[in-house]
């Protein structure tokens, strides 16, 4: 008989119920939000500046709408796909500085880990934006997940339009290796700037 306790639980940094503790913990490592921005050498420099000095962005009506809608969309994900909402922060098995907070998390009877990532948008998506894919692949790496249900709810003037849309995103080892390399470069820049 297998141990019913998922291995990733041992890598939980904080359960997310204390927002200040969650923010402090996130500041100590490289998160999926950080990695989503990494694509060029300049983006690494910009991300390092933001990690050291904070971001001037503190939210807007779009982020407020997303925060308000996320619990409703997470309930839909739970009903339709059996993925539990999550606000916990985890570190990767390979590096405790590599962090992620998926919006949803499930371990199936087969042992497979599946995640959910929730977004709201006022645009029609033909494809999932690249920076969101980077975020998803990083979360898969940190949690050891096989796939992620990317869920988005479109709105017009902040009024939801129909049911959420979704698409499964499979784990991509090549993309993950590239993101781990970019994160290592970011860590090197942070060390150089603080030494």
DSSP string of 15-51, one letter each residue: -SSSHHHHHHHHHTSB-HHHHHT-SSHHHHHHHHHHH
- Whether 77 maps to a domain, the answer reads yes
Q: Decide if 65 is inside a domain.
A: yes
Q: For residue 1, tell me if it sits in a domain.
A: no
DSSP 98: B
- Residues with Cβ within 8 Å of 35's Cβ and at least 6 positions away in sequence, in order, are 134, 135, 138, 179, 182, 183
Structural domain of residue 75, as residue ranges? 7-194
Does 2 fall in a domain? no
Q: Dihedral sign for Cα 41, 45, 46, 47, please.
A: positive
The owner of tokens 């500085």 is 97
Mind listing the pLDDT tens digit of every residue in the chain (195 residues)?
345 678 889 999 999 999 999 999 999 999 999 999 998 899 999 999 998 887 777 678 888 888 889 999 999 999 999 999 999 999 999 999 999 999 999 999 999 999 999 999 999 999 999 999 999 999 999 999 999 999 999 999 999 998 999 999 999 999 999 999 999 999 999 999 988
Residue 12 lies inside a defined structural domain of this protein: yes
- Give the CATH number for residue 156: 3.90.320.10
Q: Which of 26, 20, 48 is nearest to 185 (CA)?
A: 48
**Count of domains forming the chain:** 1
For residue 93, tell me if it sits in a domain.
yes
What global pTM score does this model have? 0.92
- CB neighbours of 32 closer than 8 A, spacing ≥ 6? 99, 100, 101, 134, 135, 136, 138, 139, 142
């Amino acid at each position: 008989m297998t141990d019913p306790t998922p291995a990733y639980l041992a890598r939980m940094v904080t359960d997310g119920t204390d927002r200040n503790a969650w923010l402090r913990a996130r500041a100590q490592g490289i998160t999926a939000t950080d990695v989503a921005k990494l694509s060029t050498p300049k983006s690494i420099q910009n991300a390092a500046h933001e990690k050291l000095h904070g971001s001037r962005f503190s939210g807007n009506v779009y982020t407020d709408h997303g925060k308000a809608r996320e619990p409703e969309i997470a309930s839909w994900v739970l009903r339709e796909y059996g993925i539990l909402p999550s606000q916990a922060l985890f570190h990767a098995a390979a590096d405790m500085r590599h962090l992620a907070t998926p919006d949803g998390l499930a371990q199936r009877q087969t042992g497979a880990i599946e995640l959910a990532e929730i977004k709201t948008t006022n645009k029609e998506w033909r494809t999932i934006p690249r920076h969101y894919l980077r975020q998803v692949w990083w979360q898969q790496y940190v949690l050891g997940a096989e796939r992620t249900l990317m869920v988005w709810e479109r709105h017009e003037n902040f009024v939801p339009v129909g049911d959420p849309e979704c698409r499964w995103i499979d784990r991509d080892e090549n993309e993950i290796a590239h993101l781990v390399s970019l994160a290592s470069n970011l860590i090197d820049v942070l060390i150089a700037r603080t030494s």
